[in-house]
Amino acid sequence: METRSNQVLVGSVVLALLVGLLLFAVWITGLNTEQRKCFDIYFSQGVGGLNRGSNVSFSGVPVGQITRISLLPNRPEFVWVRIEVDENTPILQGTTAEIQGVGFTGVSEIQLTGAVKGAAPLTAVGPQGCPVIPSSSGGLGALLNSAPELLDRIQRLTERLTELLSDRNQNAISDILENVDATTRTLAQRAPDLADAVGDARIAARNAAVAANNVAQLAESTTDLVNQEGRPAAQDLRRSIASIQQTTANIDALVADARPGVQSLTKSTLPEVNRLVRDLRDLTSSLENVSQRVESGGVSGVLGQPKLPDHKPGRSR
C-alpha cells in the first residue's frame, strides 16, 4: 500500500513538471510572436569577429541579429551576411552597413547607419530573396583592409629615409651646415657695415618719400594750372576753329556762286578772245607787209607791182 502511494506521488510530480514545462513553452512562444524582416549584406572585406547570432545595431541601438554567414556561391570574393531585424526598424534608402568591433574582445557586430527622414523604405528584393543593404568600409575592418597598403607606404618611406640619410647625403648636409656657420660668422663680422647700409636705406626711403610728396604737389599744381589756363585757351581754340569753319563755308559758297561765271568764261569768252588774238596777229602781219612795201617802193609799191618797159623786136644798136 505504501509503495503504491509513492508511485502516485512520483507520477503526480512528473505530471506537474510536464504541465509546467508545457506552460513555459507556450509562454515563450507568445513572447517571440514579434515580426522580423530579413536583409542581405555583401561585404568585399574580411568579416572577422562576426558569427551567426552576432548583434545588429542601428545607430547603437540593438535591433536584430545575424542569421547566416557564408561566401557568395558565384562570387567568392564577397561574403554574404543575412540579418533579421525588428519590423519597426527604419531601414530606408540611404541606409548602409559596416562592421564595428566591440571593445577589445575581438567580437564584432554590424552597425546600420544613414536613415534619412522622408526617404522611401528599402524594399527591392536582391538575388538571395531579401532586400540588400549596401556595405561600407569603416572602423576596424577598413583599417585592416588598408593595412597592407599602409605597410607598403611605410616601407617605401623607410627606404627613402635610408637613401636620404646615406653617407653621401650626410656629408653634403655637413658641408651645408659648415657653409651656414661660415656665412653666419661673416654676417656677424659685417654687422656694423650692415647697420650702416640699413641706415642709408632708411635715409634713401625717407628721401624717396619726400620726392614722392614733391611730385604729388607738382602734379596738383600742374592740374590747377591746366584747369585755370588751359580751359580759356581751349575755349579760344574752339572759337578759332568755329571761325575757320565759318570762313571755309563762306569760301565754299563764293566758289559755288562763281562757278557758273567761270564756266561761261571758259566755254565762250576765252574762245572768242583767242579768235580776236589770231585776227590781231593777222592784221599786224598785213600792216607789217604794207609798211615794208611803202619803205621799199613808195606808194606804188603799195598799189601794185611796177610795170616792165616795153620791148620792141628788130631794133639794135
- Report pLDDT for 317: 43
Judged by DSSP in three states, 66 sits in strand
Q: Do 106 and 120 meet the contact criterion of CB atoms below 8 Å apart? A: no
> pLDDT tens string for the chain (317 positions)?
556 666 767 777 778 888 888 887 767 655 555 678 899 999 887 787 888 888 999 988 899 999 999 888 788 888 899 999 998 888 888 888 888 877 666 688 898 988 777 888 888 888 888 999 988 875 555 555 565 677 788 888 888 888 777 778 778 888 898 888 888 888 788 777 777 778 888 888 888 888 888 888 887 877 776 666 666 767 777 787 887 888 778 777 776 766 666 666 667 666 777 777 777 777 777 777 767 766 665 555 545 555 545 555 554 44
**Cell numbers at 96, concatenated:** 548602409
- Cβ(64)–Cβ(85) under 8 Å? yes
Opening angle at CA 157, ends 153 and 162, nearest 5? 150
The answer to whether residues 156 and 148 touch, using CB atoms and an 8 Å cutoff, is no
The pLDDT value given to residue 305: 54
72: in domain: yes
Give residue 127's domain range. Answer: 32-137
Q: Are 109 and 57 in contact (CB under 8 A)?
A: yes
What pLDDT does 67 receive? 92
- Residue 257 inside a domain? The answer is no
Give, in degrees to the nearest 5, the angle at Cα 34 between 31 and 38.
135
**What is the separation, in whole angstroms, between the first and last Cα of the chain?**
246
HSE-CB at 171 with a 13 A cutoff on CA atoms is 2
Q: Is residue 41 part of a domain?
A: yes
The rounded distance, in Å, linking the Cα atoms of 80 and 40 is: 7
Tell me if 97 sits within 8 A of 136, measured CB to CB: yes
Confirm whether 270 is domain-assigned: no
Query: Is residue 269 situated within a structural domain?
Result: no
Residue 89: CB atoms within 10 Å: 18
Residue 315 lies in a domain: no
Contact status, residue 64 vs residue 102, Cβ threshold 8 Å:
no
Grid coordinates belonging to 231: 580751359
The pLDDT value given to residue 316? 45
What CA–CA distance (Å, rounded) separates 71 from 54? 17
184 alpha-carbon distance from chain centroid: 45
* Number of domains into which the chain is organized: 1
Handedness of CA 39, 85, 96, 44 (dihedral sign): negative
Measured CA to CA in angstroms, residue 63 lies from 8, 92, 114, 152 at distances of 49, 14, 15, 39
- Cell 503504491 sits on residue: 4
Angle made by CA atoms 247, 253, 259, in degrees to the nearest 5: 135
Q: Is 95 helix (H, G, I), strand (E, B) or coil?
A: coil
Helix (H, G, I), strand (E, B) or coil at 87: coil
Whose cell is 509562454? That residue is 27
Helix (H) or strand (E) holding 306: none
- 54 closest CA partner among 122, 107, 116: 107
Taking the C-alpha atoms of residue 236 and residue 244, their distance in angstroms, rounded to an integer, is 12
Does some domain include residue 85? yes
User: Has residue 108 been placed in a domain?
Assistant: yes
Instruction: Give the pTM.
Output: 0.39
